[in-house]
């Protein structure tokens, strides 16, 4: 395990609901070889609804939080004064721990001159692993009312892969959870739709990925052939468009039932097989992510 | 003053389109766009900027090379993998990765030569806009993507301030997707939450997690099913599940291309008559705001 270098493709988007999970799952089901699938949308993971894996292992994701030994504590307040997150606060002259605010940096136990602080693991989420047919499946899930999504995402990303391809379903947006999901990826596919919201959020995602120096391209979902704003933007920015998935109420209905569009709609299956071709070709070329001159079909 | 947060769990279900329509129908609301890393509400209006400011929150570590003695304590105490050694002994240099740094200050505390400095972190920018549907507060998270919850809190505080100053009695919060840090921040001090859900298996799953979150914080919630006619039986299931979670169904909006058309034309759905616009008007009445 972990010996074969795995190439990672992250399916991301600035805007939510553009079809990340649909694209990621469809790629998983049309893959040219064995793959590992990581669901990093840990706040709202959905890929399991479509891939229906058999989960056989689950591991807690934890934060080490301080536990104060009241017998040893002399209420000097060093722990509270080092904590920048109000994870320990002095109340009525005694240190009080607020575990949900603790980020687990370990500063308080270092600062305590009495050795009165030990750390205990506090669960904030879980990583589940199993098989979905031939697909190695891993999904992270953050506990309700917890805030440390990036920690859970990093735990999912750390699971070693023995498969030549790793597909990663990312959370929406451009904030720290998305950053954690795309970290170190070989290729990021940004799923967008030809609307003002789609374009605006695509621009934000492109600026974040450029900032990180990652390779990326675009998949246009719900393409209607009349709105060319994404094509125009990509052409100007020299961003490669990897695929277009046409707007079709049938696609929306198949998805709504939890069925897989590549199993139900042969035309859509062909789009994903072609997309794999584009991905492999792009990754085998040093200048792989140049525009290939795909023009708007209107 | 009342404050309604429009949430969904799953992204792309129509939060922003509904929030804009509600503001237009209300005529006495301040809008707060708390989707700070994908803010789209301003795109539905011709906005004029009244105010634009930077927002700093939290800290970030930075090593001053001239003062660094190369002991490496900063690297060894950092649990976030944010400090990296560059160059070899006897005088290596240490660099902090701003994307990994949590701003805990542990490295600053242990540095024997005061080489580690803590600097204020630029979280983002926020704007106060004037629109034809009322004032709108909007923010843009900085590329580091950290502290989005703090920025959400700021957007809400500014929206309330404006409402107070102008005697407006409603704050409409366009919420972020998910159930994490920015969503939790968007819930602070609200009078109620409206979920916009879509009748898909993902929509049902995501709604349940989001409803558990509002229940956790004791927030009274309602649900509206958008594009309900894509799957009428799943819509029934969603509403049934909602009732069992004490979330009240208050309306349905049908699948209608005029919603996307409105977005393309830069207006809210209800500014032109359409089947979806009629559904949204009914929904608005049922909200009783």
Domains by residue range for chain A, with CATH: 7-33+164-283 (3.40.50.300), 63-123 (3.30.70.20)
Which chain B residues touch A104 with a CB distance below 8 Å? Answer: 79
Q: Which of B11, B36, B77 sits opposite A15 (nearest CB)?
A: B11
**pLDDT tens across B120-132, in order?**
999 999 999 999 9
Task: Tell me which chain B residue has its CA closest to the CA of residue A151.
Answer: B80
Residue from B15, B41, B21, B19 nearest B273 by CA: B21
Q: How far apart are CA B152 and CA B186, in angstroms?
A: 6
- Indicate the fold that domain B65-114 takes in CATH: Alpha-Beta Plaits (3.30.70)
For chain A, say whether B81 makes contact (Cβ under 8 Å): no
> What share of chain B has pLDDT > 90, as a percent?
96
Residue A298 has pLDDT above 50, yes or no: no
* Contact criterion met (CB below 8 Å) for B170 and A132: no
In terms of C-beta density within 10 A (0-12 exposed, 13-18 middle, 19 or more buried), how is residue A77 classed? middle
Q: Is B56 on the interface with A (CB under 8 A)?
A: no
Query: Strand order in B116-131's β-sheet?
Result: B48-63, B116-131, B134-141, B29-33, B170-174, B2-7, B192-197, B221-226, B247-253
CA dist list (Å): A124 to A61, B100, B102 = 6, 19, 17
Place of tokens 């209905």: A253
Tell me the helix, strand and coil percentages in chain B, rounded to 5: 35, 30, 35
| Peptide linkage before B90 cis (omega within 30 of 0) | yes
B76–A contact, CB cutoff 8 A? no
Residues of A within 8 A of B80 (CB-CB) are 105
User: Using a CB-CB distance cutoff of 8 angstroms, which residues of chain A are in contact with residue B104?
Assistant: 84-85, 103, 105, 107
Separation between Cα atoms, residue B41 and residue B174, nearest integer Å: 8
Check if B232 contacts A (Cβ < 8 Å). Answer: no
Query: How confident is the model over B132-187, as pLDDT tens digits?
Result: 999 999 999 997 778 899 999 999 999 999 999 999 999 999 999 999 999 999 99
B139: which 2 tokens?
């923010």
Whether residue A186 contacts residue A209, with contact meaning beta carbons closer than 8 Å, is answered with no
Please, are residues A45 and A140 in contact by the beta-carbon 8 Å criterion? Answer: yes
What is d(CA A296, CA A230) in angstroms, rounded to the nearest whole number? 9
Put simply, whether B234 touches A (Cβ < 8 Å) is yes
Q: Is A244 helix (H, G, I), strand (E, B) or coil?
A: strand
Average pLDDT over every residue of B68-95 = 93
The whole-number average pLDDT for the span A229-239 is 97
pLDDT tens figures, B201-218: 999 999 999 999 999 999
**Chain B residue at shortest CA distance from A258:** B201
pLDDT at B91 (0 to 100): 82
Record the tokens describing residue B100, joined without a space.
């990994």
How does DSSP assign A29-87, residue by residue?
Answer: HT-SS-EEEEE---SS--HHHHH--EEEEEEEEEEEEEEE-TTT-----HHHHH-SSSS
Record: contact B43-A172, CB cut-off 8 A: no
Question: Is B13:A252 a contact under the CB 8 Å cutoff?
Answer: no
The partner residue sitting opposite A145, judged by closest CB among B102, B141, B184, is: B184
The pLDDT value recorded for residue A1 is: 41
DSSP label at B176? Answer: P
pLDDT at A294: 67
Name the pairing type of β-strands A117-132 and A135-142.
antiparallel
**Is the model's pLDDT at B188 over the cut of 50?**
yes
Class level of CATH domain B2-56+124-287: alpha beta
Half-sphere exposure of B45 (CA within 13 A, CB side): 26
List, in sequence order, the alpha helices (H) in A112-228: 149-158, 176-182, 196-212
- Domain locations along chain B: 2-56+124-287, 65-114
Which of B179, B231, B263 minimises the CB distance to A43?
A: B179
């Amino acid at each position: 395990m972990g010996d074969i270098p795995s190439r990672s493709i992250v399916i991301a988007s600035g805007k939510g609901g553009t079809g990340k999970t649909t694209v990621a799952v469809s790629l998983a089901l049309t893959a040219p070889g064995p793959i590992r699938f990581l669901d990093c949308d840990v706040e709202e993971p959905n890929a399991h609804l479509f891939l229906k894996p058999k989960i056989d292992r689950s591991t807690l994701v934890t934060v080490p939080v301080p536990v104060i030994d009241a017998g040893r504590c002399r209420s000097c307040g060093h722990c509270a004064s080092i904590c920048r997150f109000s994870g320990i606060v002095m109340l009525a002259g005694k240190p009080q721990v607020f575990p949900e605010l603790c980020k687990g940096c370990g500063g308080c136990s270092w600062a305590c001159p009495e050795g009165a602080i030990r750390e205990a693991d506090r669960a904030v989420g879980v990583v589940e692993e199993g098989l979905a047919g031939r697909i190695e499946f891993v999904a992270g899930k953050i506990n309700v009312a917890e805030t440390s999504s990036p920690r859970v995402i990093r735990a999912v990303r750390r699971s070693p892969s023995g498969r030549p391809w790793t597909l990663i379903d990312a959370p929406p947006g451009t904030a720290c959870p998305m950053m954690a999901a795309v970290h170190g990826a070989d290729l990021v596919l940004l799923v967008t739709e030809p609307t003002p919201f789609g374009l605006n959020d695509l621009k934000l995602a492109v600026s974040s990925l450029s900032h990180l120096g990652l390779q990326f391209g675009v998949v246009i979902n719900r393409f209607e052939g009349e709105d060319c704003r994404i094509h125009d933007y990509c052409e100007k920015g020299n961003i490669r468009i990897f695929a277009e998935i046409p707007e079709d109420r049938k696609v929306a209905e198949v998805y709504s039932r939890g069925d897989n569009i590549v199993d139900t709609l042969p035309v859509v299956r062909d789009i994903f097989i072609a997309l794999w071709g584009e991905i492999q070709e792009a990754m085998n070329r040093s200048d792989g992510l140049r525009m290939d001159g795909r023009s708007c079909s209107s | 003053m009342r404050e309604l947060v429009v949430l969904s769990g799953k992204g792309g279900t129509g939060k922003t389109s509904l929030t804009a329509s509600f503001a237009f129908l209300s005529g006495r609301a301040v809008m707060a766009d708390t989707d700070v890393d994908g803010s789209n509400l301003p795109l539905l209006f011709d906005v004029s900027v009244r105010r634009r400011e930077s927002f700093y929150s939290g800290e970030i570590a930075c090593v001053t090379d001239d003062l660094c003695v190369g002991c490496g304590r900063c690297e060894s105490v950092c649990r976030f993998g944010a400090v990296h050694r560059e160059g070899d002994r006897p005088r290596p240099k240490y660099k902090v990765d701003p994307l990994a740094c949590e701003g805990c200050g542990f490295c600053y505390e242990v540095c024997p030569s005061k080489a580690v400095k803590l600097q204020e972190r630029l979280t983002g920018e926020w704007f106060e806009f004037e629109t034809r549907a009322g004032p709108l507060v909007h923010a843009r998270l900085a590329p580091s993507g950290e502290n989005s919850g703090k920025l959400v809190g700021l957007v809400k505080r500014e929206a309330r301030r404006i409402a107070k100053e102008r005697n407006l009695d409603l704050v409409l919060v366009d919420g972020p997707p998910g159930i994490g840090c920015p969503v939790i921040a968007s819930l602070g001090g609200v009078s109620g939450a409206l979920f916009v859900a879509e009748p898909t298996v993902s929509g049902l799953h995501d709604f349940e997690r989001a409803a558990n979150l509002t229940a956790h914080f004791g927030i009274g919630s309602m649900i509206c099913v958008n594009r309900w006619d894509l799957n009428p039986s799943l819509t029934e299931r969603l509403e049934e599940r909602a009732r069992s979670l004490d979330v009240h169904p208050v309306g349905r909006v049908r699948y209608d291309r005029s919603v996307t058309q409105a977005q393309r034309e830069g207006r809210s759905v209800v500014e032109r008559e359409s089947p979806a616009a009629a559904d949204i008007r009914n929904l608005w009445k049922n909200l009783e705001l």
